[in-house]
Amino acid sequence: MDPVVVGGLFYNKLFEIAPQLRSMFRSPIDEQSRKLLAMINYIISRLDKSDMILSEITKLAKRHSTYGVKDEHYKIVGEALLWTLEKGLADKWNDETKEAWITCYTILSNTMVTASRQEIYKAA
């Protein structure tokens, strides 16, 4: 899959759901798309090493908090991500795959929310 195409689907859906988030993205969407797919691939390749992933996700959350990402944004991103995966995987998308991605994203987003709250708490 071409990261720019997949990322384009994702970001178009994200901005359709929540147009107010558009201003948070200063980099070109092509660049953002490559970063998004690289992170997804990174996570998938290390699912058997969750402690390593969670450490990286914590760092990512801290960076995202400086961009103005709020807790409620993670649900919106999850919705756009699942929609994108469903479209991209087409006939390979099924209930089992959907549930696996929901579980994975829930763990990741909860980790990011917790890390960003800790970062905000430290700053206060």
Whether this model's pTM surpasses 0.95: no
- Give me the tens of pLDDT residue by residue for the chain, a chain 124 residues long: 688 889 999 999 999 999 999 999 888 999 999 998 898 888 888 878 877 787 888 888 888 888 889 999 999 999 999 999 999 899 999 999 999 999 989 988 998 899 888 755 565 4
Give residue 1's pLDDT.
67
Give residue 9's pLDDT.
94
**Distance between CA 23 and CA 15 in Å, rounded?**
10
Domains of the chain: 3-123 (1.10.490.10)
Give residue 94's pLDDT.
97
Q: Is the alpha carbon torsion for 73, 22, 53, 7 positive or negative?
A: positive
3-state secondary structure of 27: coil
Nearest to 14 by CA among 39, 40, 32: 32
